[in-house]
């Protein structure tokens, strides 16, 4: 009797096993195709195919790119605006050159160094410092595991304005002086472009660090 009970139990278990939906054996990595579903499969939840934690990376990446592009635009605008201001100031200075000054012309770079530093260099440096602060705010979101924050270097080639050294400081040379300074500041290899390139490189480094 005990044996009969065991045999019946065995057959019952075997029948239950054979009646089980074959899809319940899978880990659920493949999607369920077709329109028909059974109660068994409806009861089994379908696992996600993608990790939602990657969303934070997508968002952070976008913030870096936005910082990069806004900084590039601000640096470009700052360069243009400060150059315009400098040009007007230079014209006023040239108009005010005395007769003595017209005869014994000072080299333009010596005459304009102070004005260049206060009206262009300090202004652009200010924009770069603000960009660094904005970057620091962005960086702080990475938490304790953040690596060393890259900095925008305050590097100024031709700080002595040798590009206009050979121009005498007189009204007739206003065009040449401003052209020289414009190329120095806003040219394709100018100061603004150098700062912008730094910003692009920093953003690239930061994105590489968050990319899988």
Partner 1 sequence: MITQILFTIPAMYEAAVKSGNLIQIGGLLKDAASGKIVAHLQESGLAHSLIGKTILGATSPITLAITEAASAGTGIYTAIQVNQIKQMVAGLQSLQIATLGVSLVGIGVSVAGFLYMHKRFNSLDKKIDTLIDTVTSGFDNQQKYLLRSHLSQAKGLVLQARQAPSLAKPEYEYSRIAEALAGEAAHFQGELEFVIKANDNINIELFWQLAQALMVCNSVRIDCRIRTNELYNALIVAEGVASSYQRLFEQLTPISFNTTGKESHLTIKAIKDITDSASTKPYLIDHLHTQRIDGHTYLRQLENEMERPLLMLNVA
- How far apart are CB 164 and partner 1 at their closest, in Å? 25
Query: Would you say 68 or 121 has its CB closer to partner 1?
Result: 68
| Of 53, 51, 64, residue with least CA distance to 207 | 64
Return the CA Rg of the chain.
35
3-state secondary structure at position 152? coil
Q: What is the C-alpha separation between 55 and 78, in angstroms, rounded?
A: 34
Which burial class, exposed, middle or buried, applies to 173 when counting CB atoms under 10 A from its CB (0-12, 13-18, 19+)?
A: middle
- Provide the token pair at 123: 């202004």
Give 107's strand partners. Answer: 168
Binding of partner 1 by 101 (CB under 8 A)? no
Q: Contact at 8 Å (CB) between 63 and 191?
A: no
Region from 19-27, 129-137, 154-162, 199-207 binding partner 1, contact rule CB under 8 A: 199-207
Contact yes or no for 104/178 (Cβ under 8 A): no
Q: Which is nearer to partner 1, 45 or 98 (CB)?
A: 45
Rounded CA gap, 48 and 53, in Å? 12
Under rule CB under 8 A, which residues in 12-71 are in contact with partner 1?
30-35, 37, 42, 45-50, 52-53, 55-56, 58-59, 61-62, 65-66, 68-69
Q: How far is the CB of 38 from partner 1 (least distance, A)?
A: 12
| Size of site (CB under 8 A) for partner 1 | 35
* Contacts with partner 1, 168-197, as mask; x by CB under 8 A: --------------------x----x--x-
Smallest gap from Cβ 82 to partner 1, in A, equals 17
Identify which of residues 59 and 153 has a Cβ nearer to partner 1 in the complex. Answer: 59
Q: Return the half-sphere exposure (C-beta side, CA atoms, 13 A cut-off) of residue 149.
A: 18
**For residues 12 and 59, which CB has a smaller minimum distance to partner 1 in the complex?**
59
Q: What residues make contact with partner 1 under the rule CB under 8 A?
A: 30-35, 37, 42, 45-50, 52-53, 55-56, 58-59, 61-62, 65-66, 68-69, 72-73, 76, 188, 193, 196, 200, 204, 207
């Amino acid at each position: 009797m005990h044996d009969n009970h065991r045999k019946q139990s065995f057959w019952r278990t075997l029948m239950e096993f054979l009646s089980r939906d074959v899809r319940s054996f899978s880990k659920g990595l493949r999607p369920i195709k077709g329109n028909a579903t059974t109660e068994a499969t409806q009861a089994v939840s379908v696992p996600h195919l993608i990790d939602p934690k990657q969303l934070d990376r997508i968002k952070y990446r976008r913030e870096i790119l936005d910082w990069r592009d806004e900084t590039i635009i601000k640096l470009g605008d700052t360069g243009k605006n400060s150059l315009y201001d400098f040009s007007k100031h230079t014209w006023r200075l040239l108009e005010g050159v005395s007769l003595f000054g017209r005869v014994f012309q000072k080299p333009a770079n010596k005459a304009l160094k102070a004005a260049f530093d206060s009206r262009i260099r300090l202004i652009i440096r200010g924009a770069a410092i603000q960009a660094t602060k904005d970057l620091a705010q962005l960086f702080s979101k990475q938490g304790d595991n953040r690596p060393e924050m890259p900095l925008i270097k305050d590097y100024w080639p031709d700080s002595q304005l040798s590009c206009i050294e050979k121009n005498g400081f007189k009204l007739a040379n206003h065009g040449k002086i401003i052209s020289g300074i414009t190329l120095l500041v806003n040219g394709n290899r100018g100061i603004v472009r150098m700062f912008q390139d730094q910003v692009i490189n920093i953003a690239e480094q930061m994105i590489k660090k968050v990319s899988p």
